[in-house]
Chains A and B, each alone.
Chain A
Amino acid sequence: MKTKRLVFYAALLAFTVLAPYLLPDFKTQLATLWLMIIVAITWDMTGGQMGYNSLGNIFFYGTGMYVAAVVTIAIPFDVGDYTNAFSDRIYEFTDTQYFVGTLVGTLAAGVFCALSALVIGYITFGLRGPYFAIGTLGVAIAAGELVSNWEWVGGGQGISLPVFPYDLELGKQFFYFLFAGTGVAAFAFAKWLYSTRFGAAINAIRDDEEKAEAMGIHTMRYKLTAWSLSAFFVGIAGGISAFQLIHFEPLETAYQTINLGIFMVVCVLLGGKGTLWGPVVGAIVFHLFKEVTWNYFLGWQWVALGTLIVVTVVYFRDGIMGWLMHTRPEWFGIRIESKQGEAPS
């Protein structure tokens, strides 16, 4: 069993590394798929495992983009001048500046988002149930609106970043591996986290917060830690996206509340909430669904998406992994023991 599992993970890892060479035309698509996987896994950390359904995780994605861009620009130039420059001034980045900016900016984005999750969480985690969802959604929308009025970071125009300095195809590969690396790290981290005491504690918060608190769990500390860990990965993903997209603007790209902000939730629900593999499977299925509808039903894609949300939530609530667990429990090592003389249920 153990070797079987090792082989399975090794094969997946090998496919991850080889994918851009096997499917050279789909490098950007695969990179986006990894982005979906990252945001889905991190959403499930609080949403599925801890029972706090945030609709505002997109805040960390957008903030990550802006932090990464501002840090990269601020190393060699003045940010205010850069964002308000017209064609009369041209800013050139050297290769070192670009790669140092990518590394430092992305890490700074992760750290900043983790810290901001502590601050926002301290305020919003007092809200329960739907109030938490609406409150966090409000934070994300408000942040987008405020940033789009903030001239220092380019206002509604957004920010343009330098283009990848080498060959275009190499650039696509570069971003694929950045996303894939972050994704694998996020998955491995989540897998480890759920096996620790910490994982058990946040599951206890999900099941009954009052009882968990009565058992001596500092629920606020656990909630803040979990959210800030997930914000760290989302911030990094946002930072990488900023460099991959080259140009981004606040409302439609960075704080895209009704696009990625909802997609991540749908991915998790589709795959199965509160399971390790659910977000991954859900992200893959959702991304395929999205690309097919966006390509073949253009104009109706949002209707199809809304229908998918409604159908998933209302009729398919356990998600793909939950459904598999019901129909094929032996795949998950769950054995249903039947008493003698009784039919197995």
Chain B
Amino acid sequence: MDQFLANFSLLLEFPVVNLKIIIDGVMIGALFALSAYGLALVWGVMNVKNLAQGDFVIAGGYVAWALSKQGIHPLLGVPAAFVVLWIVGWIIYKLIITRVIERDLFTSLLATFGIAIIIAQVLNLLFGSDTQSIALKYKTLYFMDGFIDIPIAKLLGVLMASALAAGVVLFMKFSRMGQAIRATAQDARAARVLGINTEKVYAFTFSLNAAICGAAGAIVVMVWVIQPFYGITHSIRSFVIVTAAGLGNLPGVIAAGLGIGALEQYGAHIFGIGYQQAVAVLLLLLVLLIRLMQQKRVRKSLQ
């Protein structure tokens, strides 16, 4: 307990430490926001809660890592992971997801949990259970007498994540397929009546989600570490973000993603790195509790 208090008072004495934690958190949070956006997309369009979200991220990371072992520049790993995970997502959709869309929500939750177990284990068998990362040979920028360090690699990661997010948003807004996806999300039956092939839209959405996660994972492996079984924590983070932000609320998803990144860094700083997973999960419970209290309020006013 004294240790926690000491860590906490450090934050008050040296405000610059806060800045460092927030910058670190926001750079990681941008990646969380990316996979959370994919989750919100699938959730909103086809009402499937994908618990394999984090495993898509980790799989994308391994694609980039395996390519960099072959001597291919890690930055090219991002589009490669996008394409590979697109195909993986499409196969999973055709085999499994298409059969659970119309069913109750727990079914899709469990089915995707099964997929998550399979992906994690296949990655473990292919690449081993060590943590992996790609070290980019870029410089680190120093500010404020060296208190704040920003590796250019991380900055590059944030930029790529933003570019990807911007690309997806523009695609959703202006392309024919993007319009069809949004129409299906609003009312699948009406969209079908108006001649939209919703089955095709669903397949496209799920593949797009997997591809976004894969690209995010390829960035994660450059700025952080990956391990076959880290997927579940990424999935939980995505759920925290989407539950906090709500569906179809892109600014909310981005804000919640960055916020969760920062809060997790704070938790790791105050309680120690051993609590980092616990902090992510406790944030989920907190968000659910707040939502619950909000709903209770609505219920009371109706009575």
Contact pick for B118, options A129, A145, A149, A306, CB 8 Å:
A306
Flag if A303 contacts B288 (CB, 8 Å).
Answer: no
Identify whether the interface residues of B are mostly helix, strand, loop, or mixed: helix
Q: Given that A133-B106, A303-B121, A306-B118 are contacting pairs, would A262 and B113 also be in contact in the complex, using a CB cutoff of 8 Å?
A: yes
| A71 lies within 8 A of chain B by Cβ | no
Chain A residues positioned under 8 Å from B117 (CB to CB): 258, 262, 302-303, 305-306, 309
Chain A residues positioned under 8 Å from B105 (CB to CB): 129-130
Flag if A317 contacts B277 (CB, 8 Å).
Answer: no
Q: How far is the CB of B236 from chain A (nearest CB, A)?
A: 7
Bound-complex Cα distance A308 to B115 (A): 10
Bound-complex Cα distance A306 to B120 (A): 10
Flag if B284 contacts A134 (CB, 8 Å).
Answer: yes
Closest chain B residue to A309 by CB distance?
Answer: B114
| A162 lies within 8 A of chain B by Cβ | no
Q: Given that A127-B288, A313-B100, A314-B96 are contacting pairs, would A142 and B121 also be in contact in the complex, using a CB cutoff of 8 Å?
A: no
Flag if B118 contacts A307 (CB, 8 Å).
Answer: yes
Chain B residues positioned under 8 Å from A302 (CB to CB): 117-118, 120-121, 124
| A138 lies within 8 A of chain B by Cβ | yes
| B139 lies within 8 A of chain A by Cβ | no
**Would you list which residues of chain B between 196 and 247 have a CB under 8 Å from chain A?**
232, 236, 239, 243
What class of interface size applies to chain B in its complex with A?
35 or more
Flag if B121 contacts A310 (CB, 8 Å).
Answer: no
Flag if B114 contacts A307 (CB, 8 Å).
Answer: yes
| A265 lies within 8 A of chain B by Cβ | yes
What class of interface size applies to chain A in its complex with B?
35 or more
Q: How far is the CB of A69 from chain B (nearest CB, A)?
A: 21
Bound-complex Cα distance A317 to B108 (A): 12
Flag if B106 contacts A310 (CB, 8 Å).
Answer: no
| B107 lies within 8 A of chain A by Cβ | yes
Flag if A265 contacts B288 (CB, 8 Å).
Answer: no
| B269 lies within 8 A of chain A by Cβ | no
| B122 lies within 8 A of chain A by Cβ | yes
Chain B residues positioned under 8 Å from A308 (CB to CB): 114
Flag if A134 contacts B239 (CB, 8 Å).
Answer: yes
Bound-complex Cα distance A119 to B54 (A): 31
Contact pick for A306, options B115, B282, B289, CB 8 Å:
B115
| A99 lies within 8 A of chain B by Cβ | no
Flag if B288 contacts A131 (CB, 8 Å).
Answer: yes
Residues of A whose CB lies within 8 Å of any CB of B are 53, 123-124, 126-127, 129-131, 133-135, 138-139, 141-142, 145-146, 148-149, 258, 262, 265, 269, 299-300, 302-303, 305-310, 313-315, 317
Q: Enumerate the 9 nearest inter-chain pairs by beta-carbon distance, A residue then B residue, closest first.
A: A309-B114, A145-B278, A306-B118, A306-B117, A302-B121, A310-B114, A142-B281, A130-B105, A53-B106
